[in-house]
């Protein structure tokens, strides 16, 4: 069996870090004559590799606990995108995309390591016009929805550009179509083709998103 871990490492490779984004504290506890070590973890729901629930954007209210488990364990296709600027429709037409799939992208974001470089993603000049990351075009999103996909795996901390239309329009469109975002994955070492994707979130009611250990296997 081929297994590919497409998750980034929290605490080491955490895209879009803020001061309160992630922390890990070791806590020693003396029980009898033994010392146990517990761990206190603080992180935002959208830290590292994570799923976006529709409730991440108002007025949507659906969270990840509202989905059946088969929405997180599903057939997937990895598509190797060569365009250095955007994910467009033409490259998608050549891929084996099936109804119910998760579509997982491999772009220069992964190949060049941008998706796992927090310093890169926090650059003040990071804009579409500068050509600094590969984004998902609205036309491609509409094409994928028409194909009946249920999840989009993006190898960056966001999928849309910061240009026109406003960058929230892609999220609004995707959430309205009940498609889930899997963001900040790392696919540089994954060959294109068909897989099964496991991206199971914690069972936590009310969260607008949750970190996952995303794995492709076949």
Is the CB of residue 62 less than 8 Å from the CB of residue 54? yes
- Given this model, what pLDDT does residue 205 score? 84
102 SS3 class: strand
CA 151 from centre of chain: 10
CA geometry: angle 137, 80, 71, nearest 5 deg: 70
Is the CB of residue 167 less than 8 Å from the CB of residue 86? no
| 3 or 41, greater pLDDT | 3
What's the rounded Cα separation, in Å, for the pair 73 and 68? Answer: 10
211 SS3 class: strand
Q: Kindly report, residue by residue over 15-60, the tens digit of the pLDDT.
A: 554 555 677 788 888 989 998 888 887 777 788 899 988 878 778 7
Q: Average of pLDDT values for 124-141? A: 72
How do the domains of the chain map onto residue ranges? 3-9+44-217
Q: Does the domain at residues 3-9+44-217 carry the CATH identifier 3.30.450.20? A: no
Mean pLDDT, the chain, integer: 85
CA atoms within 13 A of residue 120's CA, in its CB half-sphere = 16
């Amino acid at each position: 069996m081929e297994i590919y871990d497409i998750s980034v490492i929290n605490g080491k490779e955490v895209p879009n870090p803020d001061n309160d984004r992630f922390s890990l504290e070791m806590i020693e506890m003396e029980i009898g004559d033994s010392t146990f070590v517990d761990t206190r973890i603080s992180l935002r729901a959208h830290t590292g590799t994570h799923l976006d629930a529709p409730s991440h954007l108002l007025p949507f209210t659906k969270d990840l606990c509202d989905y059946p488990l088969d929405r997180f364990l599903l057939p997937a296709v990895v598509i190797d995108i060569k365009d250095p600027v955007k994910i467009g429709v033409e490259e998608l037409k050549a891929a084996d995309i099936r109804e119910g799939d998760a579509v997982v992208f491999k772009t220069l974001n992964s190949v060049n390591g941008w998706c796992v470089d927090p310093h890169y993603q926090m650059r003040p000049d990071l804009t579409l016009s500068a050509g600094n990351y590969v984004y998902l075009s609205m036309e491609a999103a509409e094409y994928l929805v028409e194909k009946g996909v249920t999840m989009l795996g993006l190898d960056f901390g966001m999928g849309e550009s910061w240009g026109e239309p406003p960058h929230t329009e892609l999220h609004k469109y995707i959430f309205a179509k009940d498609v889930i975002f899997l963001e900040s994955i790392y696919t540089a070492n994954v060959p294109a083709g068909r897989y099964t994707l496991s991206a199971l979130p914690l069972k936590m009611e009310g969260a607008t998103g949750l970190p996952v250990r995303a794995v492709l296997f076949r």
